[in-house]
Chain A
Amino acid sequence: MATAVMTTLDQRTRAASRGMSDISIRNLFIIPTILFLIVFNIFPLLYSLYYSFTDFRASTNAPANFVGLQNYRELLNDPFIWSNFAITAQYVIVSVTGQVLVGFGVAMLLNRDIPFKGLITTLLLLPMMLSMAVVGLFWKLLYDPSWGVINYALGLGNFEWLANPKMALYAVAITDIWMWSPFVMLLSLAGLSAVPKHLYEAAAIDRAGSFYTFFRITLPLVAPILMIAIIFRTMEAFKTFDLAYILTSQPTTEVISIRLYKMAFQEWQTGRSCALAYIVLIMVIAITNIYVKYLNKVKER
């Protein structure tokens, strides 16, 4: 079929004069990409699946022995792994909730005629465009207990943000909220501006109060797009590594991806860490699927 569509290469082009057909040009573009994908994505994915059933350690020359489901069994029975998952869950909930509240709130504020709206929106998007590592380093300075700007501004004295085991995870979440609220804001703003103005007018005529209007009209209409923002942010938050790793090294901030990193590249338990990576992958897919199901239900309503 493709040949039928693509046989009309203009005879005057340089490619044609070099004796290349449409198909060979197509292959020239596509094959390197496919090869690249296979070498760097698909092959490692499958190879790590194989490793997850072995006791392979990348730091030794010992051959990999097939151990069946042992890695998975041990990981799922390891209370420390589960506490890593619990920390991750806590982090995801705090961070995503914060982002939705801040992002949606700011979007509500921006969704009206105000001067310099475009400029304000653009400026608000800046945190999102920074690199994770840079944000982590910045905030480490901001959080500094003795000369950090945050303690100075809030008058908190020498409050330990990152060294305090109870506070550290929230400090990471706050940084994440600062960085990613603009993303939620952007999507919410798109959703909000798509609500037809005449519905608000009808509600005003129907004497609905602002809360009633918000919960009965605004929220249901923005819900689908807000759900998409939540899905993206949940997936991202679930695999957070850089922010937490750069900001602090508390055991209370050891989210699952940090545990995974340590297992793979500090303890060199390659086989086991592959198994853990697969467990995380399956969890993310499962959570996303639940969300998507729910999203479809919201859309149908």
Chain B
Amino acid sequence: MAHIQLKNITKKFGAHTALKGLDLEIQDGEFFVLLGQTGAGKTTTLRLISGLETPTEGDILIDGVDVGPWGAAERDVALVLQQYSLYPRYTVRENLEFPLKAKIRRLERAEIDERVNRVAKTLRIEHLLDRKTDRLSGGEMQRVSIGRAIVRKPRVFLMDEPLSALDAKLREALRTELKNLQVNLGATFLFVTHDQIEAMSMGDKIGVLNEGHLVQVGTPNEIYNNPLNTFVARSVGSPPMNLIEGELRSGKAVMTQKNFELPFTGATGTSAAEGDRPLVFGIRPEDLHLEAGAPVEAKVHDVENHGVEKILTLRVGDIMLRATVPARTDVALEDAVRFAWNPNKVVLFDRASGVSLRHAG
């Protein structure tokens, strides 16, 4: 159980800068999710904390102690990788025992057995204990590799996309299991993923990483409802936030491309945005609704039925908007519908910088 702090971390691989001036703080017992695309520097961050890589610049602190000169063993972290990294030729039990038999801390046989059995029970892999690891399915392998991490009771759990090689059903199940596990252990988790659903559903806090920069850190709620800029708005949410270019003129949002208007009752800090300032309006799909007397007319371009709800793609001129509507809404392709938005939920971004006006102040 530990508190982790990264201070002004820069990591270069030759000419390529993977991380630039990264500051990150993870509280004790927190489930922190690092969200970003491939190449954003997520894995590098993880490897730096684990001690497998050393930063070009900056300090890493675990529980307030600078662990810069420490190797992976001394840092007492556990790392679960996407490719499982199980030791081949050994049984599940031998894999689970491996970290307990390493030289730093030799445990009593009885203690080892007890811990292995408890972990196997937690992860429901008891029946697999005597099986060779190459005879396991993907989900089973990932459980074993998570088990190998827990069995040692490390200070921090680092997980590098542990679920992305699994099929959807299993991913969902393990997502819940992992979250429960973290709550039960009260452990500090740093979980790296490119999947925003994983980030939203598991994280206490999410850090959005883009090209080596930490763009925004916040609770899933903050990230979702109050994205710092259009990048975050696009990366979180499925379907993502609708972003429409426009201007604000006398309490109305005027969309420049197709000249449709929506009422906009100014929220905080929007008075400065009045007039010619180029803006981007962000609205979540669930905050668009269809209504008979609504101000804007659109054509239904596409319908995706998800059972609990329908995701519509609406076409206004050449602008496409996604809207999530109740499943019982009865629409067909090319129907003409009218829609409105929930003005309180609209996020304004500066068009040039992409930064949300709420954050820019």
Contacts and interface: CB of A to CB of B under 8 A. Distances in A.
Tell me, yes or no, whether A binds B. Answer: yes
B71 A204 contact: yes
Contact of B72 (A198, A205, A216): A205
A284 interface: no
**Which of A201, A217, A220 has the most B CB atoms < 10 Å from its CB?**
A201
B52 A217 contact: no
Nearest to A201: B52
A207 B73 contact: yes
B98 A201 contact: no
Main secondary structure of the interface of B (DSSP, over half): loop
Interface in A173-231: 196, 198-199, 201-209, 211-212, 216-217, 220-221
Contacts of B51: 204
A198 B85 CA distance: 6
B89 A205 contact: no
- Determine chain A's interface SS by DSSP, over half rule: helix
B152 A221 contact: no
Residue with the greatest number of chain B CB neighbours at <10 A, chosen from A207, A209, A216, A217 = A207
6 contacts: A201-B72, A201-B79, A202-B79, A205-B72, A207-B76, A208-B103
Nearest to A223: B89
B339 interface: no
Given A199-B87, A202-B87, A204-B71, 8 more contacts: A199-B88, A201-B72, A202-B79, A204-B72, A208-B73, A212-B103, A217-B87, A220-B88
B99 interface: yes
A204 B73 contact: yes
A77 B122 CA distance: 67
- Size bin of chain A's contact surface: 10 to 19
A-B pairs with lowest CB-CB distance, top 9: A206-B99, A207-B73, A202-B85, A209-B103, A208-B102, A204-B72, A207-B102, A205-B79, A207-B104
Contacts of A198: 81, 83, 85
B89 to A, nearest CB: 5
Nearest to A217: B87
B226 interface: no
Contact of B148 (A199, A201, A206, A220): A206
A301 interface: yes
Contacts of A208: 73, 98-99, 102-103
Interface string B152-176: 1000000000000000000000000
Interface string B76-120: 111101010101110000000011011111000000000000000
Contact of A206 (B52, B81, B89, B102): B102
Contacts of B81: 198, 202
B88 A221 contact: yes
Contacts of A196: 85
B313 interface: no
Contacts of A203: 87, 98, 102
Contacts of A199: 85, 87-88
Given A204-B71, A206-B148, A207-B73, A212 B102 contact: yes
Contacts of A301: 89
A139 to B, nearest CB: 40
Contacts of B87: 199, 202-203, 216-217
Interface in B116-160: 148, 152
Nearest to B74: A207
B45 interface: no
Interface string A267-301: 00000000000000000000000000000000001
A205 B52 CA distance: 8
A272 to B, nearest CB: 48
B103 A206 contact: no
Nearest to B103: A209
A295 to B, nearest CB: 14
Contact of B98 (A204, A206, A211): A206
A209 B103 CA distance: 6
A206 B152 contact: yes
